């Protein structure tokens, strides 16, 4: 049997298994059938949960850093203050680590904030970062990034000169913004790793699209949308710019007040992890995520892998917990194979309960098909 090079680059299967563990399970299943193949695991991310770990594992010389003490989590409880520094001097900060939805004891759509993210950003600047890339995704809050900017020295004041309250709830009281004591961004700038194209406000905006997963009721969504619109009015930022609605409007705050710019998270992670070069030498690419629909082909990590594989002429197969009919049709149209864990397991509940087992079975099945 001829030895082949296989690249395994899944995103996380949200809520069930990480990108690293899903890559390991797929690789183990493949090796049961084709043990002589060269299998390389390069899990991916798009700026959301797992971004720091994926980059730290793939980049030689990358190292984890931590704040001396835990930072303030999105509900006020302690949270991890960790980020990654690359040999180039660039800091990779992942919002989900200090300010993610999974840190909440209970969802609080109006009160959750991004103070912890700001504390990590401040620490990264103090540690000498030449440039900062911020992965946006998995946020708990809809505060327009005000919590983060507060920790970077910006004051958000009411009409009588006192500080507004935390979270989206405080934005309605905002009368002025004082940046006189703001921590300067690093000389190399600040980039937001983000593939969300939502504006800050409106029917496609942050509160409307992402509020429900953070516990927002229709009344909360209307309140938060108006609060974010007020923030944009006071700050003078562009609420219609694509991507400003990412992470509860955190992208807006960092762009309008700290001069950050948006880049494709999936493409940047693919570049940093060496995915493009690896695919050029591969015979097959395996990728996947928890649920695949047509939006998966619009900027997510899986889309970056599919596009990079196509550019290098490498066949690609997508594994997912489940596929919508439109998702299947889109892959078929592009000549891309796919495999559903739900169909392998017999039900979505069984697949979600034992993701590593069925990812291993998927790896083995694809290896058998590849042999023929």
The CATH code of the domain that includes 136 is: 3.90.1510.10
Q: Which of 42-51, 224-233, 359-368 has the lowest average pLDDT? A: 42-51
> Treating both helix axes as pointing N-terminal to C-terminal, what angle do 51-58 and 19-33 enclose, rounded to 10 degrees?
50
Q: Is the pTM of this model over 0.85?
A: yes
Position 116 scores a pLDDT of 98
For the stretch 204-224, pLDDT in tens is: 999 999 999 999 999 999 999
174's tokens:
């905002």
Same domain, 230 and 328: no
Same domain, 246 and 313: no
Position 348 scores a pLDDT of 93
Position 371 scores a pLDDT of 75
Number of structural domains the chain divides into: 2
300 Cβ contact list (under 8 Å, min separation 6): 11, 46, 195, 266, 289
Same domain, 82 and 158: yes
Same domain, 116 and 75: yes
For the stretch 20-48, pLDDT in tens is: 999 999 999 999 999 999 999 999 888 88
Position 15 scores a pLDDT of 79
For residue 372, name the pLDDT band (cuts at 50, 70, 90). low
Examine the fold and report which residue of 237, 266, 295 is the final residue of a domain before the chain moves on. Answer: 266
Examine the fold and report which residue of 266, 294, 329 is the final residue of a domain before the chain moves on. Answer: 266
Examine the fold and report which residue of 224, 241, 266 is the final residue of a domain before the chain moves on. Answer: 266
Same domain, 117 and 221: yes
For the stretch 272-281, pLDDT in tens is: 999 989 999 9
Q: What is the mean pLDDT of the chain?
A: 95
241 Cβ contact list (under 8 Å, min separation 6): 199, 200, 252, 255
Same domain, 119 and 246: yes
Whether the CB-CB separation of 192 and 260 falls below 8 Å is answered with yes
Give yes or no for residue 200 having a pLDDT over 80.
Answer: yes
For residue 112, name the pLDDT band (cuts at 50, 70, 90). very high
- Nearest alpha-carbon partner for 112 in 159, 146, 163: 146
Average pLDDT value for residue range 311-318? 94
Position 98 scores a pLDDT of 98
Same domain, 150 and 57: yes
Same domain, 248 and 133: yes
Same domain, 132 and 228: yes
Give the domain extent around 75. Answer: 51-266
Position 57 scores a pLDDT of 92
Same domain, 96 and 215: yes
Same domain, 146 and 88: yes
CATH of the domain at 13: 3.40.50.10350
């Amino acid at each position: 049997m001829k030895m082949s090079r296989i690249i395994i680059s899944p995103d996380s299967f949200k809520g069930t298994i990480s990108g690293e563990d899903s890559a390991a399970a797929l690789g183990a299943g493949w090796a049961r059938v084709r043990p002589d193949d060269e299998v390389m695991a390069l899990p991916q991310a798009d700026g959301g949960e797992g971004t720091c770990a994926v980059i730290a594992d793939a980049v030689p010389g990358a190292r984890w850093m931590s704040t001396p003490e835990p930072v303030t989590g999105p509900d006020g409880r302690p949270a991890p203050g960790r980020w990654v520094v690359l040999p180039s001097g660039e800091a990779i900060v992942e919002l989900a680590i200090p300010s993610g939805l999974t840190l909440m004891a209970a969802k609080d759509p109006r009160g959750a904030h991004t103070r912890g993210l700001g504390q990590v950003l401040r620490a990264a600047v103090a540690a000498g970062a030449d440039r900062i890339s911020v992965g946006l995704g998995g946020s708990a809050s809809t505060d327009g990034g005000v919590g983060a900017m507060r920790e970077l020295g910006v004051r958000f004041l009411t009409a009588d000169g006192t500080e507004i309250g935390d979270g989206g709830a405080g934005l309605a009281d905002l009368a002025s913004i004082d940046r006189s004591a703001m921590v300067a961004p690093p000389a190399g700038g600040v980039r937001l790793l983000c593939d969300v194209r939502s504006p800050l406000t409106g029917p496609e905006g942050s509160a409307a699209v992402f509020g429900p997963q953070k516990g927002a009721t229709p009344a909360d969504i209307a309140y938060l949308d108006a609060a974010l619109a007020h923030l944009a009015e006071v700050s003078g930022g562009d609420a219609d710019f694509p991507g400003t609605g990412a992470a509860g409007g955190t992208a807006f705050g960092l762009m309008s007040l700290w001069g950050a710019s948006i880049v494709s998270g999936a493409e940047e992670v693919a570049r940093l992890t060496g995915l493009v070069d690896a695919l050029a030498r591969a015979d097959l690419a395996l990728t996947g995520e928890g649920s695949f629909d047509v939006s998966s082909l619009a900027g997510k990590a899986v889309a970056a892998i599919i596009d990079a594989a196509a550019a290098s002429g490498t066949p690609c197969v997508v594994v997912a917990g489940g596929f919508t009919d439109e998702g299947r049709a889109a892959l078929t149209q592009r000549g891309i194979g796919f495999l559903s864990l739900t169909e392998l397991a017999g039900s979505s509940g069984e697949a979600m309960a034992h993701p590593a087992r069925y990812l291993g079975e998927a790896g083995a099945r694809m290896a058998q098909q590849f042999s023929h």
